[in-house]
């Protein structure tokens, strides 16, 4: 478990995604089965273990450490598992395989658990104790998604990530067949029904680039502002996956119930009330909930607008040209009024399409999609066959209030910017942006921050409220978590307004009025 403890510690302190991936891949390369599989599952939250309660742990340490010394220490350290790992008085530092720790937590009965944990803690060094206690309390918090885990697996030199994603949901920890496959063995039989299939993604475009293309070779459709999903009914097994392969079925029981067809379809998850498509803000209310109340199901019903058919009535259509798939889609019966096909747009020239894009019939439309008629359905983001032409972003002029030092390639630069808008005579924080600017602009912003610092809090500096930033964003949600009452989607700094006095920056009312 030493390598696992080291990995956990490095991941916890490594902010950059690529560096995290490299750490994980090196761990997977150098760790034997089944430990690496259990580690992967622990990191992505897929390892189901008996969860050890904080009170059990407090009881264990109370038998070993003076209560007053423990309290003083816990106050200082601030985290229970970490305090116990550090304070535990044992000189041992055995390297116990991770699977033994997993086995202990999976198979020890409730009454035997305290003694078993104590005995194990006595054999481990401090960093392994912490790793074990994090495992036992189910609290890894190292910022590693299942998607990143699969990318690290693909980096091991075996099958590409799209193929790993196809079989992922049929596998269970410690994923022995998967590692065998990566090492050159046979592809695991995909036992699970309704597996995830990687979706096809588009690349951004604009009118200039489109002019080089022949409009007659393309179809266009609206780009809906919901959540891109894969909806499946595979012989009665129904599932909803996000486009990154997370199973989100439990959050949308109403839509699951409506999947009365036989196939795997690619579409946009939306809140829809009859014919009306509700805003992303409404959809937001349904996200990240483990259980959905009956009232929420009634007031925010989920629906699906289908873009494409991947598998339909037992037939894999992905190698067919889009025009053939589209013909089947237009004729398809989805068996529910919550589900329909996304309509194709009628246009002859790119200027026609530009006009449609400029005045969409519904605020939930965030641009147009343009797809080659002959395109097969390919996993990933191939350059060329599919384009997205998003509507112009919304912008506000905001005042720079705080800046935080960046990491990795931006080390030493103040690169994360918090900005605000006027509310009466005060500036209220409305968001944070850390991209949109060029390297040269970053240097200029960094200089401004250093020369106008009014206060410091660790890596954060408050600055004189003098610099106006034009902030572009894709949408707005009402938010009770933000003091301003609104949250921006994908905010970025589109221009630095060195010319504009802060007093002329926008007001909070202006922003609130933009909520769609």
Q: How many CB atoms lie within 10 A of CB 291?
A: 8
In the complex, minimum distance from the CB of residue 353 to another protein, in angstroms, rounded to a whole number: 41
In the complex, minimum distance from the CB of residue 411 to another protein, in angstroms, rounded to a whole number: 5
Q: Which two tokens stand for residue 191?
A: 């036992």
In the block, which residue shows the tokens 């990566």? Answer: 182
Phi-psi region at 236: left, alpha or beta (left = phi > 0; alpha = psi -120 to 50): left
* Binding window for another protein (CB under 8 A); candidates: 246-254, 310-318, 330-338, 403-411: 403-411
62 binds another protein (CB under 8 A): no
C-beta separation of 466 from 449 below 8 A: no
109 binds another protein (CB under 8 A): no
Q: Which long-range contacts (CB under 8 A, 24 or more apart) does 443-449 make?
A: 443/413, 444/496, 445/400, 445/403, 445/414, 445/415, 445/417, 445/496, 446/413, 446/414, 446/415, 448/400, 449/400, 449/403, 449/414
* Binding window for another protein (CB under 8 A); candidates: 66-74, 291-299, 480-488, 503-511: 66-74
**309, 361, 302: which is closest to 330 by C-alpha?**
309
Residue tagged active-site, from 48, 223, 483, 500: 223
Element (H, E) at 503: none
Q: Which of 56, 87, 292, 356 contacts another protein by CB under 8 A?
A: 87
Q: Which of 33, 82, 247, 352 contacts another protein by CB under 8 A?
A: 82
In the complex, minimum distance from the CB of residue 235 to another protein, in angstroms, rounded to a whole number: 46
Question: What angle do the packed helices 2-13 and 126-137 form, to 10 degrees?
Answer: 80
Q: Which of 112, 408, 501, 516 contacts another protein by CB under 8 A?
A: 408
432 binds another protein (CB under 8 A): no
Q: Which of 459, 466, 504, 516 contacts another protein by CB under 8 A?
A: 459
**Can you tell me the distance from the alpha carbon of 404 to that of 456, in angstroms, rounded to the nearest whole number?**
10
Determine whether 2 is an active site residue. no
462 binds another protein (CB under 8 A): no
Q: Which of 62, 72, 119, 298 contacts another protein by CB under 8 A?
A: 72
In the complex, minimum distance from the CB of residue 418 to another protein, in angstroms, rounded to a whole number: 16
Q: Interaction with another protein in 13-52: which residues (CB under 8 A)?
A: 13-15, 19, 22-23, 26
63 binds another protein (CB under 8 A): no
3-state secondary structure 288-346: CCCCCCHHHHHHCCEEEEEEEEEEECCEECCCCCHHHHHHHHHHCCCCCCCEEECCECC
Nearer to another protein, 404 or 477 (CB): 404
Enumerate residues 6+ apart whose C-beta is below 8 A from 248: 229, 240, 241, 242
In the complex, minimum distance from the CB of residue 129 to another protein, in angstroms, rounded to a whole number: 11
> Cα torsion for 88, 91, 95, 98, to the nearest 10°?
-10
In the complex, minimum distance from the CB of residue 77 to another protein, in angstroms, rounded to a whole number: 5
6 binds another protein (CB under 8 A): yes
- Is the N-terminal amide bond of 174 cis, ω within 30° of 0? yes
Element (H, E) at 387: strand 386-390
213 binds another protein (CB under 8 A): no
DSSP-assigned letter for residue 509: H
**144, 178, 173: which is closest to 159 by C-alpha?**
178
* Binding window for another protein (CB under 8 A); candidates: 76-84, 220-228, 233-241, 301-309: 76-84
In the complex, minimum distance from the CB of residue 134 to another protein, in angstroms, rounded to a whole number: 11
Q: Which two tokens stand for residue 411?
A: 């080390």
251 binds another protein (CB under 8 A): no
Q: Interaction with another protein in 433-452: which residues (CB under 8 A)?
A: 446, 450
80 binds another protein (CB under 8 A): no
413 binds another protein (CB under 8 A): yes
* Binding window for another protein (CB under 8 A); candidates: 226-234, 261-269, 407-415, 471-479: 407-415
Enumerate residues 6+ apart whose C-beta is below 8 A from 351: none
- Is the N-terminal amide bond of 159 cis, ω within 30° of 0? no
Nearer to another protein, 241 or 414 (CB): 414
Nearer to another protein, 62 or 72 (CB): 72
Q: Using CB under 8 A as the criterion, which residues of the chain lie in contact with another protein when the complex forms?
A: 6, 10, 12-15, 19, 22-23, 26, 65-66, 68-69, 72-73, 76-79, 82-83, 86-87, 89, 126, 405, 407-409, 411-413, 446, 450, 458-459
Give the catalytic positions in this structure. 223
């Amino acid at each position: 478990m030493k390598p696992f403890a080291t990995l956990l510690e490095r991941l916890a302190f490594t902010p950059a995604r690529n560096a995290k991936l490299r750490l994980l891949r090196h761990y997977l390369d150098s760790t034997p089965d089944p430990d690496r599989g259990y580690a992967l599952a622990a990191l992505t939250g897929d390892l189901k273990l008996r969860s050890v309660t904080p009170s059990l742990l407090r009881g264990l340490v109370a038998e070993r450490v003076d209560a007053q010394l423990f309290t003083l220490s816990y106050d200082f350290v601030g985290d229970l598992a970490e305090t116990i790992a550090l304070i535990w008085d044992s000189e041992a530092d055995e390297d116990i395989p991770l699977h033994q720790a997993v086995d202990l937590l999976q198979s020890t009965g409730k009454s035997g658990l305290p003694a078993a944990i104590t005995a194990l803690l006595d054999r481990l060094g401090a960093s392994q104790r912490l790793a074990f206690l994090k495992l036992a309390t189910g609290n890894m918090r190292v910022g590693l998604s299942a998607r990143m885990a699969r990318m690290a697996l693909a980096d091991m030199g075996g099958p590409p990530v799209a193929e790993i994603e196809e079989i992922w949901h049929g596998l269970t920890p410690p994923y022995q067949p998967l590692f065998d496959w990566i090492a050159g063995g046979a592809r695991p039989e995909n036992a699970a029904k309704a597996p995830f299939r990687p979706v096809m993604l588009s690349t951004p475009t604009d009118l200039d680039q489109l002019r080089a293309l022949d409009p007659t070779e393309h179809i266009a459709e609206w780009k809906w502002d919901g959540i891109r999903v894969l909806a499946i009914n595979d012989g009665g097994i129904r599932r909803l996956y996000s486009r990154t392969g997370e199973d989100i079925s439990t959050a949308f029981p109403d839509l699951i119930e409506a999947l009365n067809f036989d196939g795997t379809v690619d579409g946009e998850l939306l809140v829809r009330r009859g014919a009306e498509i509700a805003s992303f803000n409404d959809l937001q209310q349904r996200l990240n909930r483990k259980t959905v109340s009956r009232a929420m199901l009634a007031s925010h019903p989920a629906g699906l607008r289908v873009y494409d058919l991947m598998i339909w009535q037992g037939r894999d259509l992905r190698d067919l040209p889009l025009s053939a798939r589209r013909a089947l889609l237009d004729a398809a019966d989805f068996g529910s009024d919550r589900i329909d096909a996304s309509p194709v747009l009628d246009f002859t020239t790119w200027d026609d399409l530009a006009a449609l894009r400029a005045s969409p019939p519904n605020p939930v439309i965030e641009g147009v999609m343009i797809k080659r008629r002959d395109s097969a359905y390919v996993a990933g983001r191939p350059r060329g066959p599919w384009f997205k032409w998003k509507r112009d972003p919304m912008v506000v002029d905001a005042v720079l209030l705080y800046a935080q030092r960046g990491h990795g390639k931006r080390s030493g630069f103040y690169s994360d910017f918090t900005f605000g808008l006027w509310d009466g005579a005060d500036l209220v924080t409305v968001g944070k942006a850390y991209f949109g600017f060029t390297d040269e602009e970053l240097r200029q912003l960094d200089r401004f921050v250093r020369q106008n610092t009014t206060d410091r809090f660790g890596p954060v500096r408050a600055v004189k409220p003098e610099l106006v930033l034009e902030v572009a964003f894709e949408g707005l949600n009402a938010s009770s978590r933000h003091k301003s009452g609104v949250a921006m989607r994908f905010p970025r700094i589109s221009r630095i307004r060195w010319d504009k006095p802060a007093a002329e920056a926008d007001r909070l009312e202006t922003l609130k009025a933009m909520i769609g």
